[in-house]
Amino acid sequence: MTDYTVLLARISARARDEGGPLLAPITVTELVAAESLLGFALHPLLADVYRQVADGGFGPDYQLLRLLDGDAETVVSAYLTNRATGAGTEWAWPEGVVPILTWGCGMYACVDCRSDEGTVLLFEPNPGDPDAAWFIDTPSLAQWLEHYLDDTGWWVAAEEGEDVDDMPLWPHTRERAD
C-alpha cells in the first residue's frame, strides 16, 4: 500500500490557501455508505482525499464534487445517474469509473477505481461519438493531484489558449460499459 501522507498534507495546505472554509472530511460511516451504493471501493487515494482533506469543494476550476451528501451533484449521484441513463445504449457509463469533478458542458474528470493507479479519465461527450469520448487525462490520481498542486494540468494550458488535443483514447470504454 502506498503512503500518501506527504501528498495529502500538500493537498490540504493548497485547499486551505484557496480561501474559504473547507468542508469537513467524510467519516468512515459515510465512506462505507458511499461504497455500498456504488457497489465497489473507491481508489485508496481518492478515499483518503475525502477522509483526510475535505468532502470536495476544492481543486481545479469547478472543484471536486462532494462524495455522497449535498444539494448539488455528488460523486455517487453522478455515477449512479450516468450508469442508469446510459444503460443498454452506446453511451453506457463504464463500471467503476467515478466522476470527481465537472468541467462543464457535460465533461467530467473521472477516476478509474478498478485500476491500481487510479487512472484519471476525461469524459468529453461533446463531439458526439461515444467511442471517442473517453480519454486518459493522467495515468494516476497521484499525478493528477500533483498537476493540481503545481498548476500544470491540461486545464491550465487550456485556459492559457494552448491546444490540449493530445490525450490518448481510453481503450477500455466498451469492455467496461456493461
Q: What is the pLDDT of residues 69-82, one digit of tens each?
A: 888 999 999 999 99
What cell does 18 get? 484557496
Beta strands in 69-160 (DSSP E): 97-104, 107-112, 120-123, 134-138
Find the Cα–Cα–Cα–Cα dihedral 111, 57, 55, 148, rounded to 10°: 50
* Residues in the chain, pLDDT under 50: none
What cell does 148 get? 493540481
Residues 94/173, Cβ–Cβ less than 8 Å: yes
Query: Which domains, and CATH codes, for the chain?
Result: 5-176 (3.40.1580.10)
Residues 65/74, Cβ–Cβ less than 8 Å: yes
Measured between alpha carbons, how far is 51 from 86 in angstroms, rounded to an integer?
30
pLDDT, position 20: 78
Q: Return the bridge partners of 108, or none.
A: 102, 123
pLDDT, position 116: 97
pLDDT, position 1: 60
**Burial letters for 132-171: b for 16+ Cβ neighbours within 10 Å, e otherwise?**
ebbbbbbebbbbbbbbbeeeebbbbeeeeeeeeeeeeebe
Measured between alpha carbons, how far is 24 from 149 in angstroms, rounded to an integer?
20
Tell me how crowded residue 14 is: count the other CB atoms within 10 A of its CB: 17
Q: Return the bridge partners of 112, or none.
A: 97
Residues 47/41, Cβ–Cβ less than 8 Å: yes
**Helix/strand/coil for 152:** coil
